[in-house]
Structure 1
Amino acid sequence: MIKKTLGIVVLFWNDFEKTIECIKSIYNQKNFHYTLILVDNNSEKKFSNEIFKWLNNNNKQVINVSKKKYEENKFGSTNLCFYIKNKFNYGCGLGHNPGYQFCIDNNLKYIARIDNDMIVPEKTLKNLITRLERNNLINGISPKIMFLKKPNFIWWRGSEIGNNLKFQKNCASYNASGHLDDEKFRGMIRTDAISGCASIMKTERLKKIGLSDPDFFYGEEDIELSYRLDEFKQSLWVDLDEKIYHHVSGTVGKNWAKNVYYNYKYRLVLIKKIGNIYDKIFGYSFSILKLFLSIFLIFHKHHSSRFLQRYYAIIHFFQKKYGSYDRINYIKVDKFFSDINKRTKLSYILKKINHYRF
């Protein structure tokens, strides 16, 4: 059974360079049995072909998943890669679900989600599994996440929900520039949510609570899933002694305005899913207040450049245009926001509102 301890789910979409870096770091794990499940979120063939080429050149056998269960000897080998092709770009959360389900169907004890823009040190996964094996109360665990290009700077070290839903704030303890690592950031700490881009979960618990919620497309799906994972309100942890390295924003791309739109909208969806009555009253009201604030301060570029995203995020949330809507329209959304940036003039924003709809 030791060979069926851990399934590592790596999701990719229209990328091969970072994905190859990621899976290469996974294959470099030392003295440790794991099973790699590579999930293709309906990429163009040229990207998956480059990944297959690398796997073939490095003597890794690719098994196209065509059935639910596989023989015992197929698991725990560093020379195998299970490959699942999604029919559509399902987004972050739902895109991982076929990989999660594969791990459940084949009785793997733990499931790791490692995003394809991560680099995993050679002992990280083994040490995290050791933590889980020693404490049966832990349902999910994440390492400390560092910037790949600034390896001494922390990007993520836990999440706290608290009153963040009421004020539409990020629940994670990070900011765009990060902060320098320090001796005080060591040991095991409680967290309200494990990180979506690097975490290990108990398969048994995931099977019981259900997989990622399809109402999410990009952002906040990890908070919602963690909310259901946290059985005892003390079962989610961050191991600050273990590190993983992140190509920050590597998956989402450079469309700043689109990312702002998704962040606003899916924080509203998160409030709907896990918020209490006070979170909903304050959270929904605060989002509308910020929109009106943008109108009053619209001649300031900081606010005018965000007005369009806030406006459509609120409209689309109340129209229930999330989840499946974004899976169908992600190209349209990307195109709509592609010419908006922090320096966009007010005149162009107003023109966009008057002449374009999506």
Structure 2
Amino acid sequence: MSNYEDYPAVAIIVLNWNDSKNTIACIESLQRIIYPKFKIYIIDNNSEDSSIENIRKIFPYIEIYNSGSNLGWAGGNNYGIKLAKLHGYNYFYLINPDIRVEPKTLSALVEAIDAEDVAAVGSVVISYSNPDWLEFAGSQLTSESGFSRQTSMKKSEFVFDGPDIDVPELKGCSFLITEKGFDKIGYFDERYFLNYDETDWCFRARSNNMRCVFSKKSICFHIGAQTFGGVSSPLYRYFIARNRIFFARKNLDKKSLIFAWRCMAWEIKSVLLGRSIEKRGLKVKGALLLSLFLSLRDAIFNRHGNCPPLVRKINKV
């Protein structure tokens, strides 16, 4: 693209919930991108702290929209996309507040999405704390389970040059979607609330004969699971275990659903018998077990949406 008019205008949607520190740092990194036409939308999921005031103090010219309640990742991004569509945008870059972009991150995504059958394009995701490790270097389907599996590897093992790759799923912390994708596929399923929502959307895209593409040239850095308190926290384990089963029920076959239930059993067993959990103390072990049993209960009764309040309470452990 050589002329300014040739660049599509992109709505950058940053979802905040009680995490103004990361959101502010994310915005600072976005202001260094070289893409010429974009607008930043801050969608606040009804934070319980002083997030909105903190962000406005640093960026008084950026509009912040309060969704009115904690809608989760899926609901919050749906809210932001609908708002941006009303303002005339048809390209939507979804980015989590714990992401830091490079100057060419968005340009590479827009370049890769310029095909009629491409629904979404995702970035290479590098660990912020360990820049030699790629958290997301693509994904592939596994015949044994029917699920897709994200690829992680050392940075030295990855070839950044080369064509974009079709993948079964993208990592939702940094990816670009077009209005034509939403028109054909629909919005994110808000029943997930957190986790597996973007995977569900990518699988639905494939079932509608649209592609999800992984761009090797779009690079970002991920701090990781900030709103959860880490990937080993009770809150994170609750959503992963419950939503894995919901995802299999909705998108996969009986064999895959059995695999999802076996994963639930394995998670409970690993907390009961795993040595790494023992080192963290009985209090943490008890919190994780309670969270997983609540996840098991809700999966059995097919309950969705936000987690029970007790899960958030024990997550503070």
Q: TM-score band, normalised by the shorter chain?
A: 0.7 to 0.9
CA apart distance, 1:231: 5.4
Q: TM-score, normalised by structure 1?
A: 0.76
Q: In the alignment, what sits opposite 2:25?
A: 21
Partner of 1:137: 117
Counterpart AA for 2:300: F
1:153 aligns with 2:145: no
Are the counterparts in 2 of residues 261 and 313 from structure 1 also a CA contact under 8 Å? Answer: yes
RMSD across aligned positions (CA): 2.7
Counterpart secondary structure, 1:146: strand
Q: Distance in 2 between matches of 1:214 and 1:235?
A: 22
1:312 partnered with 2:289? no
The superposition leaves residues 182-241 of structure 1 with CA deviations (integer Å, 9 ceiling, x where unpaired) of 353543222101211100011111133221111112211110011122356561111112
Deviation at 1:127, TM superposition (A): 2.2
Residue 124 of structure 1 and its aligned partner are, at CA, apart by 1.4
Aligned residue runs from structure 1 range 40-59, under 5 A: 40-44=44-48, 46-56=50-60
- Provide, for residues 149-185 of structure 1, a one-character-per-residue CA deviation record: whole Å limited to 9, x for no partner: 222321111223434756xx773223xxx63343535
Percent of aligned positions that are identical: 19
Q: CA deviation at 1:288?
A: 6.1
- Quote the Cα distance in structure 1 between the aligned partners of 2:148 and 2:211: 21
1:336 aligns with 2:314: yes
Greater radius of gyration (CA):
1
* 2:85 paired with 1:110: no
Distance 1:105 1:204, change over 3 A: farther
Amino acid at match of 2:168: D
Q: Which moves more between the two structures, 235-244 or 254-263?
A: 254-263
Whether the aligned pair in 2 keeps the contact of 1:158 and 1:173 (CA below 8 Å) is yes
CA contact (8 A) 1:145 1:246 kept: yes
The alpha carbon displacement at 1:273 in A equals 1.8
Give the aligned partner of residue 101 of structure 2.
Answer: 120
Query: Is 1:37 matched with 2:15?
Result: no
Structure-2 change in CA distance of 1:170 and 1:32 (3 Å): same
The count of aligned residue pairs is 303
Shift of residue 102, structure 1, vs aligned partner: 1.7
Q: Which amino acid letter does the alignment assign opposite residue 93 of structure 1?
A: A
**Where in structure 2 are there 5+ consecutive unaligned residues?**
279-284
The whole-number CA distance in structure 2 between the counterparts of 1:14 and 1:164 is: 39
- Deviates further, 155-164 or 43-52: 155-164
**Aligned partners of 2:46 and 2:177: how far apart in 1?**
25
Q: Distance in 1 between matches of 2:80 and 2:145?
A: 30
